[in-house]
Structure 1
Amino acid sequence: MPTLTKPSFRQLLLLAFVLTAVLLSATSLRALSTLQRVATQARTLSDAAVRQTEAVERLNERTQLFERSLRQYLVLDDASFLMRARQSNQDAADAVRWLRTHAGSEPALIAALQDWAQIGGMVEAGLARDAIHDQRRQAVLFEHIARLRSLNEQIAQESRHELDRRNSALLDALDHERQTIAIMVAVAVGIAALIALALAGWLARPLAKIESAIHRLGEGRLDTPIAIRRGPADLRRLGVQLDWLRQRLAELDAEKTRFVSHVSHELKTPLASLREGVALLEDEVPGVLNTGQREVVDILASNVAALQRQIEDLLRYHSMQFSARALVRTPLDLTALIGSVIEAQRLHWLAQSLTVALDGEAPVYRGDADRLGAVIGNLLSNAIRFSPKGGRIRFVLAYRDATTMIDCIDQGPGVAEADAERIFQPFVQGERQPGGARRGSGLGLSIVNEYLAAHGGDIALLPSAQGAHFRIELPDETTETT
């Protein structure tokens, strides 16, 4: 049975968009259809109300005209008035028939219209010439006319009631549709939210794994395989690519370690022979040295020692890159830590007749004592190396805006402007070297920068009128950027 291919993130996003669009479109179409239907019903009701009102007014008008024409005929005995009366009665009957057809289903209105039609028929029958001049029949006829006037008022009132009932029914239907649309909108929004939550939940776990894997790669922890088994296809492919990158980085690190180990072995073996040979010469084992030979041996000894220190710095920098971020944080009294580093290098700065001072204070900081000690030690060692005899070196502690600041200020030649931007890069040595001093390996400040970066901190070279002014900034753990 073939395995089903899981959709990619783009496909899922498109599917979620389509589903949401369909839901919202269906709700919008339903709302539009409802509005159109209600608008049509409102127009129909309005037209019916106008025509019904006109029919009721015409019925009342024709009834009045009928009564007036009949009375004029009885007074003037003019046949044209009788004809007008009959025509008015016929028009009124037509209005009643129209109302009976279109006025709706209100029982009281239907009953009143039926009564009017019945009495109107009696009135029509009583308009015969031989019956209209009879006094008794005239009285009955006018009683019917009075009854018609009363029915006209009843028909007008019941017609208004019928129109109010239709209007209320329309408003009820509109309210029902409004509630239906509100429910549809709520359901659509709920389904869209569920789709978004389901998509976010499905993506959260693989994204968290990818973030954790990238964090491990950044810390140099390359021994844990990266496997994204759930989630969209493109995220699983990204997991495969990250695992390939992990393996490649592991291979490069292994090659780098082998290379450094090989180079250090190849260098240390002849270097040890050189050091032993120079030591034999210094001890005059081959024979007594004259003054010139002694100078040559001193030069050889100095350079062999310098070469050994540079090789050791290189190896130390190599190992530092693997351990810089493996911090062991403990509460530190930075005043005591800096004081211990100053005391450890006392012989060095006393030999140069230097004064080293520590000012200010800062709260307890959680950091790695060994690495922060190495940072202060490197800065102090550089300051001692570059300071003139009798000079002064100052460390200043301060705390501001949840950040601990450590300033190191000396009175040496300072850093040349051309070196300021690259002084923290590996193997970079400044132009202003102290006269007669051994040139360093250029790794001290780069190690300082790496250790501080591991703490989430930073070091900067500040402008200074004399000497070098370095500032360390160590944010509290809660303010570090994750």
Structure 2
Amino acid sequence: MFRPSFRSIMLTAFLLIAGVLAAAAVSGWLSLEALARSIHDGKRNALALTAASRVLGERSVDLERSARQYLVLGEPALRQRFDDALSEAHLALDTLEASAQGLAAPVGEWRALAAAIERGLETTPDGSGAQAAADFSADFLALSQVSEAVERTIQARLARESEDLLAELEYRRHLLAQHILAAVALAGVLAALTSWWLLRPLARMERAIAALGDNHLESPIRIGGPADLRQLGEHLDWLRQRLAELEANRNRVLRHVSHELKTPLASLREGVALLSDGILGRLNAEQREVAGILDSSARALQERIEQLLHYNATQFDARRLDRKPTALLPLLSEVVSEHQLLIQAHKLEVRIEGDAPILSADVSKLRIALSNLIANAIRFSPEHGRIRIDVQVQEPQVIIDCRDDGPGVAEEELERIFEPFFRGSRSSTASTKGSGIGLAIVREFVAAHGGYARALPSPQGAHFQLELPHA
């Protein structure tokens, strides 16, 4: 079954949309071109009709003047002027007949009147006087009236043509607007359909990638749509299977390593216990000291193995959050109460001050982060020391500052202190050494909430600051 690729679909959609818009543009251009030709032809025709009408009116006056003068003076030049004016008038009448309809009657009437006047001049003797000229007055008046009627008819015709042209312009404007709107709507429909067809598999792919990032490797990945996106979905499903295999191998290796390390370690601790109890013979002071060192080292090794397994599980667990509305101050008070025995044993004073809004957080993971932070402060605080926890809002974060009176953190180690199993140079001088993963877990869980954990320079003791978003 043929399935087009993402690129071919995008190119086809682009060409279709461009074709629709181009068709609308060509249609508009052709419409404007036709309208421009109509305006040009109408303008040229109007100029021709106006000029012919003006010439006809002027020649009508010239005919009357030259005829009257000829009848009074009898000069042949005046008769020639009459004939020339009549020829020009006939040319103007030909133009009017050719350029405009509905002028046949007045043009024919004008021709008849002019012919009658011409015949009258031929039958009237030269220089017959003013009385003869007066006899032609009615004919000349009628000729002038016909010329005026022709001019009025032409003006009315030009006015109608102008109105028709304006109506045509308005019609074509509406038609062009409809074509443009239809083209834009069609292009929008094509773009929406293309986007829907392309974005739907992209959205599924985004969810699949997010599921891979969250270590949800159970469901197969099936991506539809274009051929290249389907192929990419197949690669993602292959990646899911590989990640599932790696995750299973990792868990299996951790179980095996844990078993392989804990079993001989348990035997080692049992042997050291037998030696320390003198079951295999009494030990002198040096031997007891060596046995104590062996027991302490075995316990420390077992603790490190358990911490490594716990931290490894914490890194994967931090990716899954079950957010719920959480009151921060009551949660801090509960965490402090859980450490009350250690606080009393170290004779410490712990104060919680400030206020905070309700957070959207995973209570269990946030509790672990706060517990590790407070436990770290308790572990490295001297007797009769103070631990101060200040909570404040700095939009859009809630800031938690934890200060203690312990040895603090060297300025060059402020960032490294959050690395797994790094305890810092100053902590080596403290009476109690930490495991080195508590602060790493704090940063992991705070970062999972979209926040940040940092160590700040402090002239006395350690100063840790947590930022948690609440908006």
Structure 2 equivalent of residue 174 of structure 1: 169
Aligned amino acid, residue 352 of structure 1: H
The equivalences for 1:198-347 within 5 A come to 198-228=193-223, 230-347=224-341
User: Would you say the 8 A contact 2:72–2:130 is kept in 1?
Assistant: no
Structure 1 equivalent of residue 387 of structure 2: 393
Instruction: State the SS of the aligned residue for 1:423.
Output: helix
Deviates more, 1:208-217 or 1:307-316: 208-217
Structure 2 equivalent of residue 91 of structure 1: 88
Structure 1 residues 308 and 95, CA gap change in structure 2 (3 angstroms)? same
The CA deviation string for residues 285-319 of structure 1, in whole angstroms up to 9 with x for no partner, is 22333222222222222211111111111111122
Structure 1 residues 368 and 90, CA gap change in structure 2 (3 angstroms)? closer
The CA deviation string for residues 323-360 of structure 1, in whole angstroms up to 9 with x for no partner, is 22333444444333322322332333333333222222
Structure 1 residue 386: Cα displacement: 2.3
The CA deviation string for residues 91-136 of structure 1, in whole angstroms up to 9 with x for no partner, is 222321221122x12x3x3321121122222222222144775999
Are 1:23 and 2:17 counterparts? no
- Quote the Cα distance in structure 2 between the aligned partners of 1:469 and 1:37: 82
Instruction: State the SS of the aligned residue for 1:33.
Output: helix
Structure 1 residue 194: Cα displacement: 0.1
Structure 1 equivalent of residue 372 of structure 2: 378
- Quote the Cα distance in structure 2 between the aligned partners of 1:27 and 1:364: 57
1:192 equivalent among 181, 187, 191: 187
The size of the alignment, in residue pairs, is: 470
User: Would you say the 8 A contact 1:126–1:137 is kept in 2?
Assistant: no
Structure 1 equivalent of residue 349 of structure 2: 355
Structure 2 equivalent of residue 474 of structure 1: 468
Aligned amino acid, residue 291 of structure 1: A
Structure 1 residues 372 and 134, CA gap change in structure 2 (3 angstroms)? closer
Aligned amino acid, residue 375 of structure 1: A
The CA deviation string for residues 28-82 of structure 1, in whole angstroms up to 9 with x for no partner, is 2222223333223322222222222222121111111111111112222222222
Are 1:451 and 2:417 counterparts? no
Deviates more, 1:245-254 or 1:431-440: 431-440
Question: How high is the TM-score relative to the length of structure 2?
Answer: 0.93
User: Would you say the 8 A contact 2:411–2:457 is kept in 1?
Assistant: no
User: Would you say the 8 A contact 1:93–1:120 is kept in 2?
Assistant: no
Instruction: State the SS of the aligned residue for 2:429.
Output: coil
Structure 1 residue 166: Cα displacement: 2.1
Structure 2 equivalent of residue 463 of structure 1: 457
- Quote the Cα distance in structure 2 between the aligned partners of 1:76 and 1:138: 11
User: Would you say the 8 A contact 1:7–1:232 is kept in 2?
Assistant: yes
The equivalences for 1:357-436 within 5 A come to 357-435=351-429
Structure 2 equivalent of residue 162 of structure 1: 157
Structure 1 residue 190: Cα displacement: 0.5
Aligned amino acid, residue 199 of structure 2: A
Structure 1 residue 402: Cα displacement: 4.8
Deviates more, 1:128-137 or 1:449-458: 128-137
- Quote the Cα distance in structure 1 between the aligned partners of 2:200 and 2:20: 28
Deviates more, 1:263-272 or 1:301-310: 301-310
Instruction: State the SS of the aligned residue for 1:353.
Output: coil
Structure 1 residues 130 and 368, CA gap change in structure 2 (3 angstroms)? closer
Structure 2 equivalent of residue 70 of structure 1: 67
2:76 equivalent among 76, 79, 88: 79
- Quote the Cα distance in structure 2 between the aligned partners of 1:296 and 1:304: 12
Aligned amino acid, residue 256 of structure 2: H
- Quote the Cα distance in structure 1 between the aligned partners of 2:31 and 2:271: 104
- Quote the Cα distance in structure 1 between the aligned partners of 2:74 and 2:118: 18
Aligned amino acid, residue 204 of structure 2: K
- Quote the Cα distance in structure 2 between the aligned partners of 1:345 and 1:306: 23
Structure 1 residues 136 and 435, CA gap change in structure 2 (3 angstroms)? closer
- Quote the Cα distance in structure 1 between the aligned partners of 2:348 and 2:419: 28
- Quote the Cα distance in structure 2 between the aligned partners of 1:45 and 1:140: 42
Structure 1 residues 274 and 110, CA gap change in structure 2 (3 angstroms)? same
Percent sequence identity is: 43
User: Would you say the 8 A contact 2:409–2:461 is kept in 1?
Assistant: yes
Deviates more, 1:125-134 or 1:93-102: 125-134
Structure 2 equivalent of residue 118 of structure 1: 112
Aligned amino acid, residue 92 of structure 1: A
- Quote the Cα distance in structure 2 between the aligned partners of 1:346 and 1:282: 34
Query: What is the Cα-based RMSD across aligned positions, in Å?
Result: 2.3
- Quote the Cα distance in structure 2 between the aligned partners of 1:438 and 1:259: 32
Structure 1 residues 327 and 65, CA gap change in structure 2 (3 angstroms)? closer
Instruction: State the SS of the aligned residue for 1:124.
Output: helix
1:150 equivalent among 145, 153, 163: 145
Aligned amino acid, residue 78 of structure 2: F
- Quote the Cα distance in structure 1 between the aligned partners of 2:276 and 2:195: 75
- Quote the Cα distance in structure 2 between the aligned partners of 1:331 and 1:73: 117
Deviates more, 1:70-79 or 1:34-43: 34-43
- Quote the Cα distance in structure 1 between the aligned partners of 2:279 and 2:249: 42
Instruction: State the SS of the aligned residue for 1:434.
Output: helix
Aligned amino acid, residue 278 of structure 1: V
User: Would you say the 8 A contact 2:380–2:430 is kept in 1?
Assistant: no
- Quote the Cα distance in structure 1 between the aligned partners of 2:79 and 2:157: 35
User: Would you say the 8 A contact 1:354–1:390 is kept in 2?
Assistant: yes
Instruction: State the SS of the aligned residue for 1:433.
Output: helix
- Quote the Cα distance in structure 1 between the aligned partners of 2:91 and 2:457: 107
- Quote the Cα distance in structure 1 between the aligned partners of 2:267 and 2:432: 22
Deviates more, 1:63-72 or 1:46-55: 46-55
Question: How high is the TM-score relative to the length of structure 1?
Answer: 0.91
The CA deviation string for residues 130-171 of structure 1, in whole angstroms up to 9 with x for no partner, is 477599986653322110001111111111112222222222
Aligned amino acid, residue 144 of structure 1: D
Deviates more, 1:178-187 or 1:314-323: 314-323
Structure 1 residues 367 and 76, CA gap change in structure 2 (3 angstroms)? closer
Structure 1 residues 373 and 83, CA gap change in structure 2 (3 angstroms)? closer
- Quote the Cα distance in structure 2 between the aligned partners of 1:406 and 1:87: 112
Deviates more, 1:209-218 or 1:323-332: 323-332
